[in-house]
Amino acid sequence: MKMKRLIPAVVISAAILAGGMWNKALATPSTTYWTPAVSDVQPYGVLHLGIDNYFTVAKRSNSADLPTDVGLTIGVLPYDKIQLEIGIDWFEPSTDPLYFNAKLGTPEGALFEGSPAINLGIFNAGADSKTSDGDGRTDFNIVDLIVGKTLPANLGRVHVGVYQGKKTVLVDKNGSKENTGFMVGYDKGFMPAKDDKGEYSKWVVAADYASGDNAIGGGG
pLDDT tens column, 113-151: 999 999 999 999 998 887 655 457 889 999 999 999 999
Q: Which residues contact 7 (CB under 8 A, 6 or more apart)?
A: 46, 47, 48, 49
Secondary structure class of 183 (helix, strand, coil): strand
pLDDT in the model for residue 4: 38
Percentage of the chain lying above the pLDDT 90 cut: 52
pLDDT in the model for residue 214: 92
Does residue 94 have a pLDDT over 90?
no
pTM above 0.85? no
pLDDT in the model for residue 21: 37
What DSSP character marks residue 111?
S
CA-to-CA distance for 181 and 111, rounded, in angstroms?
27
Q: Which residue has the higher pLDDT, 88 or 65?
A: 88
Residue type, 94: S
pLDDT in the model for residue 12: 44
Average pLDDT over residues 2-10: 42
Q: Which residue has the higher pLDDT, 175 or 6?
A: 175
Q: 166-207 pLDDT, tens per residue? A: 999 999 988 899 999 999 999 998 888 887 767 778 888 999
63 exposed, middle or buried (CB, 10 Å; 0-12, 13-18, 19+)?
Answer: exposed
Does residue 17 have a pLDDT over 70?
no
pLDDT in the model for residue 62: 58
Secondary structure class of 23 (helix, strand, coil): helix
Say how many CA atoms lie within 13 Å of 214 toward its Cβ. Answer: 26
Inter-CA distances, 103 with 83, 87, 133, 156, Å: 8, 9, 28, 22
Q: Which residues contact 118 (CB under 8 A, 6 or more apart)?
A: 39, 105, 106, 111, 145, 146, 147, 148
CA-to-CA distance for 169 and 178, rounded, in angstroms?
9
Rounded to 5 degrees, what are φ and ψ at 88? Answer: -130, 150
